[in-house]
């Protein structure tokens, strides 16, 4: 049952819990019949869950830059996992710190990480940045796309055990609990504070401690939708291109392999859920919960085997969608919002949380593009269209996704567009533009979205600009052959602890 809190939303503290690569459909509160997420489910029950939240880009570094700046990727030029956020574009962290608020990060940031970079935090604990300050240079190679490896590591990692990422998340969670305990024991702050707790789970490797892997090992897990082995030659050309470049699904031999990978991923989601529970419980035990709102979201999703795809990088909801839950004082309880939400909205939401909205100096960054999740109407506004874009590994050219919650339109530079009616086809299995004869209604909807895209930017010009910057970096790193020979981080960034 949905209830609405009528108490005014007053300024207060905010804890933002950010995960990495969490498919928004893989939660109990999202209707998943098999995954165990009691703490996220409880947060959704006492707060508001957003059904249609999208990332700014379905890959880590561009998504995290957009979360910080409230700006689209095409505006800031943080295109890929090499061109990481460097602090030069103003972030909500800068705004809060300059206004006298304490704003602290704990855990993975995936920013540039160069000495002297100022990301706007009062303090940054246990930060993980891109590998060696330059990330994964092979991602710069677009045509032909360069594989980062043969993709076998994803399945090989699916087992019970303890990875460096698991240890890192344990340390992040413990550090966050200690920070909250110290804050509660100290004098009341002059202004509300914001704590960003950024965990790595459920990002692969798909290794997770036994209690979590074992939750799923002996269960007859349902195979992902439209699953098939190898590469689906009937799929959209970009999807085939990405499937070959990632190579993940080429190593799955039978259904047991698929279910083992699901055990790892679902186990990591439950591992993550336990960390969320510990942080929320610490807020309650210290008395901070009364004046501290909590927000949970991810940087992007994961295909988790749907259509034979693993990893992110596509514009299907499993990959481009993100879980989003907000709870605390003034947040309607048990509410489910169908209005489309975006990573870019975090900027306005944080300012609202601490009472900074309404000041022209701080509102200038938001510029009317973003809305606060605290004030977003539960029913979709048909005029609101959110954007996601992709300019990196596995793609020869840019792709842009626009959605208004009824429809999803995907524009591919140099490839056919796609259109899905999410009301009639929530599983995105019927591309309305793939039929021999496109219906008049579908054609009109596609034109409307294409007009909306071009009102924001020229997609071909953006594609050229991204490739020009990537070509510049390739030369900086010694040329194409040197970049091809670079071993990089091997698909996932090493942790900053032993």
> 109-128 pLDDT, tens per residue?
999 999 999 999 999 999 99
Q: How many angstroms separate the CA atoms of 64 and 136, rounded?
A: 16
- Over range 149-155, report the average pLDDT: 92
| pTM, 2 dp | 0.96
Give the chain's mean pLDDT. Answer: 93
CB neighbour list of residue 414: distance below 8 Å, 6 or more residues apart: 396, 397
Residue 118 within a domain: yes
**What pLDDT, in 10s, does the model give residues 12-66?**
999 999 999 999 999 999 999 999 999 999 999 999 999 999 999 999 999 999 9
CB neighbour list of residue 110: distance below 8 Å, 6 or more residues apart: 60, 61, 64, 81, 84, 128, 129, 130, 299, 493
Instruction: For helices 255-286 and 210-217, give the axis angle rounded to 10 degrees.
Output: 130
Residue 1 within a domain: no
Q: How many angstroms separate the CA atoms of 168 and 178, rounded?
A: 15
- DSSP per-residue codes, 284-353: HHHTGGGGEEEEEEES----TTGGG--SS-S-SHHHHB--EEEESTTSPTTEEE-S-EETTHHHHHHHHH
Please state the separation of Cα 338 from the chain's center in Å: 18
Instruction: Give the CATH number of the domain where residue 21 resides.
Output: 3.40.720.10
Query: Between 176 and 437, where is the model more confident?
Result: 176
Residue 466 within a domain: no
Q: Determine if the peptide bond prior to 205 is cis (ω within 30°).
A: yes
Residue 436 — very low, low, confident or very high, per pLDDT cuts 50/70/90? confident
- Reply yes or no on whether the pLDDT at 368 is more than 50: no
pLDDT number for residue 497: 67
Residue 482 within a domain: no
CB neighbour list of residue 198: distance below 8 Å, 6 or more residues apart: 18, 20, 105, 106, 107, 108, 109, 172
- Reply yes or no on whether the pLDDT at 88 is more than 90: yes
Query: Is residue 481 classed exposed, middle or buried when 0-12, 13-18 and 19+ CB atoms within 10 A define those classes?
Result: exposed
Range of the domain at 275: 13-384
Tokens 């209005």 belong to which residue? Answer: 339
Residue 180 within a domain: yes
DSSP state of 486: -
CB neighbour list of residue 144: distance below 8 Å, 6 or more residues apart: 396
pLDDT number for residue 486: 79
Number of domains within the chain: 1
Residue 107 within a domain: yes
- Reply yes or no on whether the pLDDT at 430 is more than 90: yes
Residue 467 within a domain: no
Using a pLDDT cut of 90, give the percent of the chain over it. Answer: 87
Residue 173 within a domain: yes
How many distinct helices (H) and strands (E) make up the chain? 15, 16
Q: How many angstroms separate the CA atoms of 350 and 462, rounded?
A: 29
Residue 371 — very low, low, confident or very high, per pLDDT cuts 50/70/90? confident
Cα atoms in the 13 Å half-sphere on the side-chain side of 270? 20
pLDDT number for residue 365: 56
CB neighbour list of residue 172: distance below 8 Å, 6 or more residues apart: 106, 107, 108, 126, 197, 198, 199, 200, 275
Helix, coil or strand: residue 41: helix
Residue 363 — very low, low, confident or very high, per pLDDT cuts 50/70/90? low
- Over range 214-218, report the average pLDDT: 96
Q: How many angstroms separate the CA atoms of 325 and 47, rounded?
A: 7
Q: Which two tokens stand for residue 368?
A: 């009317």
- Reply yes or no on whether the pLDDT at 472 is more than 90: yes
Choice among 103-117, 141-155, 279-293, 469-483 with the minimum mean pLDDT: 141-155
Residue 94 — very low, low, confident or very high, per pLDDT cuts 50/70/90? very high
Q: Which two tokens stand for residue 97?
A: 């710190």
């Amino acid at each position: 049952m949905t209830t609405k809190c009528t108490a005014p939303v007053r300024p207060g503290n905010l804890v933002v819990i950010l995960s990495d690569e969490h498919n928004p459909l893989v939660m109990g509160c999202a209707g998943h019949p098999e995954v165990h997420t009691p703490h996220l489910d409880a947060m959704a029950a006492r707060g508001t869950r957003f059904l249609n939240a999208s990332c700014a880009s379905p890959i880590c570094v561009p998504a995290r830059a957009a979360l910080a700046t409230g700006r689209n990727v095409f505006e800031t030029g943080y295109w890929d996992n090499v061109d990481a956020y460097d602090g030069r574009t103003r972030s909500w962290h800068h705004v809060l710190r300059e206004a006298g608020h304490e704003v602290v990060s704990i855990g993975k940031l995936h920013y540039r990480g160069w000495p002297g970079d100022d990301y706007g935090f009062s303090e940054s604990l246990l930060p993980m940045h891109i590998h060696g300050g330059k990330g994964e240079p092979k991602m710069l190679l677009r045509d032909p796309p360069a594989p980062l490896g043969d993709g076998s590591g994803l399945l090989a990692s699916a087992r019970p055990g303890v990875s460096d990422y698991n240890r890192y998340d344990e340390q992040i969670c413990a550090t966050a609990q200690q920070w909250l305990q110290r804050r509660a024991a100290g004098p009341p702050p002059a202004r509300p504070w914001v704590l960003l707790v950024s965990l790595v789970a459920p990002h692969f490797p798909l290794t997770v401690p036994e209690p979590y892997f074992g939750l799923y090992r002996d269960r007859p897990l349902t195979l992902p939708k439209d699953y098939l082995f190898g590469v689906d030659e009937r799929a959209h050309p970009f999807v085939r291109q990405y499937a070959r470049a990632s190579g993940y699904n080429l190593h799955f031999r039978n259904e047991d392999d698929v279910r083992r990978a699901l055990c790892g991923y679902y186990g990591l989601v439950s591992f993550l859920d336990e960390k969320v529970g510990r942080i929320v419980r610490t807020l309650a035990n210290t008395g901070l919960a009364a004046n501290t709102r909590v927000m949970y979201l991810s940087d992007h999703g994961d295909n988790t085997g749907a259509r034979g795809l693993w990893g992110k990088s596509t514009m299907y909801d499993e990959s481009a969608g993100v879980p989003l839950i907000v709870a605390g004082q003034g947040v309607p309880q048990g509410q489910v919002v169908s209005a489309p939400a975006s990573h870019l909205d975090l900027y306005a939401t944080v300012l609202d949380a601490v009472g900074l909205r309404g000041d022209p100096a701080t509102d200038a960054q938001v510029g009317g593009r973003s809305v606060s999740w605290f004030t977003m109407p539960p029913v979709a506004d048909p005029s609101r269209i959110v954007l996601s874009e992709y300019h990196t590994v596995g793609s020869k050219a840019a792709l842009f996704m626009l959605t208004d919650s009824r429809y999803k339109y995907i524009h591919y530079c140099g490839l056919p567009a796609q259109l899905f009616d999410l009301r009639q086809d929530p599983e995105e299995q019927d591309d309305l533009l793939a039929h021999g004869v496109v219906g008049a209604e579908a054609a009109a909807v596609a034109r409307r979205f294409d007009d909306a895209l071009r009102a924001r930017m020229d997609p071909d010009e953006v594609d050229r600009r991204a490739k020009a910057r990537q070509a510049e970096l390739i030369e900086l790193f010694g040329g194409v052959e040197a970049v091809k020979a670079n071993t990089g981080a091997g698909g996932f960034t090493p942790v900053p602890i032993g």
